[in-house]
């Protein structure tokens, strides 16, 4: 199951998140995930687990073309030359010839280097080293600036998204500009979201788990969720969400959970190194 990016490349509809796994944890988890059928794996330079992800990919016995590996540039490598170096370091740690999706991890507006960084990303795509390029945690104003100054819009914006923080306006902006929304912390970090009565009700009604109901909500918004789990049984259930659907009325009940409940950093102020 894939979604088409604006650059014509297909992206799997759901993937495995790997934060906050270390190299060993990521190695184990990604090996399990690929054997269960996951094809999209999400990592980042700042997670410190790219080598573990790469080791699992190398052992997977799945053709490289059938996998979709995403990594992200860390804040210390903003700027054109530094971004080129950061990419090369990530690529070497992953042990890959190319990555499928390369993201600017945070905009860091205080440093004001994300436009130059994006020029490097455009060149990496031209060179085929990053098949698709995108951003993470960017606001519409920041993405508009990328388009105005470089002529290139991101194919993906990976942002915090879960029923408690549903990002309605941002998703509408993405839809208008043909940008795929990718959801980090899609399960709200496994917090009380999964205990919400409406989620429990829908889980009972569909004979599914609360996590499956929440992941189905993402899919029906058109977003690409990347739930993290270190447990094969949870990985299996998180991927098993393509054979049922929520009704419009059930989606409307889920929408009532939106409470501006951001769990992570704010793109306008977050500082990441
Ligand atoms: P674990 O790794 O122990 O399975 P998010 O992706 O929103 O950040 O959520 C990840 C958190 O949710 C992790 O703590 C993970 O724990 C937990 N989690 C992942 N899948 C499930 C599931 N199917 N049911 C309950 N908790 C889950």
- DSSP assignment of 69-112, as one string? EEEEE-GGG-SHHHHHHHHHHHHHHHT-S-EEEEEES---TTT-
Residue 234, pLDDT > 80, answer yes
What is the pLDDT at residue 273? 73
- Confidence band for 247, pLDDT divided at 50, 70 and 90: very high
Tell me if 78 is assigned to a ligand binding site. Answer: no
Per-residue pLDDT tens digits for 148-176: 999 999 999 999 999 999 999 999 999 99
Distance 35 CA to ligand 1 centre (A): 19
Residue range 112-139, pLDDT digits in tens: 999 999 999 999 999 999 999 999 999 9
Residue given tokens 């980090």 in the structure block: 184
Ligand 1: residues within 6 Å at CB?
A: 17, 185-190, 194, 209, 211, 227-231, 234, 237-238
| pLDDT (average), residues 48-59 | 98
pLDDT of residue 272: 80
The model carries a pTM of: 0.98
Centre of ligand 1 from the C-alpha of residue 149, in Å: 39
- Rounded to whole angstroms, the Cα distance separating 14 from 36 reads 13
Q: What's the pLDDT at 150?
A: 98
Q: Is 38 a catalytic residue?
A: no
pLDDT at 271: 87
Architecture of domain 11-190+222-231: Alpha-Beta Barrel (3.20)
Over 80: is that where the pLDDT of 191 sits? no
CA-proximal residue: ligand 1, atom 24 (nearest): 211
Sheet of strand 130-136, all strands in order from the earlier edge strand to the far edge? 15-17, 40-42, 68-73, 99-104, 130-136, 156-160, 180-184, 224-225
Query: What is residue 17's predicted lDDT score, i.e. its pLDDT?
Result: 98
Angle, helices 50-59/23-36, rounded to nearest 10 degrees: 40
């Amino acid at each position: 199951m894939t979604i088409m990016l604006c650059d014509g490349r297909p992206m799997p509809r759901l993937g495995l998140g790997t934060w906050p796994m270390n190299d060993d944890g990521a190695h184990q988890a990604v090996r399990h995930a690929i054997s269960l059928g996951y094809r999209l794996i999400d990592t980042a330079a700042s997670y410190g687990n790219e080598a573990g992800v790469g080791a699992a990919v190398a052992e997977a016995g799945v053709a490289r073309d059938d996998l979709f590996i995403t990594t992200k540039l860390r804040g210390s490598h903003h700027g054109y030359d530094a971004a080129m170096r950061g990419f090369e370091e990530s690529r070497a740690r992953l042990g890959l010839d190319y990555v499928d999706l390369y993201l600017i991890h945070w905009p860091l507006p205080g440093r004001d280097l994300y436009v130059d960084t994006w020029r490097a990303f455009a060149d990496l795509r031209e060179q085929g080293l990053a098949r698709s390029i995108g951003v993470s945690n960017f606001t519409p104003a920041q993405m508009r600036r990328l388009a105005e100054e470089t002529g290139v819009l991101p194919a993906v914006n990976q942002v915090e998204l879960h029923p408690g923080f549903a990002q309605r306006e941002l998703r509408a902006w993405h839809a208008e500009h043909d940008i795929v929304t990718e959801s980090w912390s899609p399960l709200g970090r496994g917090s009380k979201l999964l205990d919400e009565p409406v989620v429990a009700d829908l889980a009972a009604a569909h004979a599914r788990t609360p996590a499956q109901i929440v992941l189905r909500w993402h899919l029906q918004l058109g977003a690409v969720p990347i739930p993290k789990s270190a447990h094969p049984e949870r990985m299996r259930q998180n991927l098993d969400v393509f054979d049922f659907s929520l009704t419009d009325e059930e989606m409307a009940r889920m929408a009532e959970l939106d409470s501006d409940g951001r769990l992570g950093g704010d793109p306008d102020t977050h500082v990441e190194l």
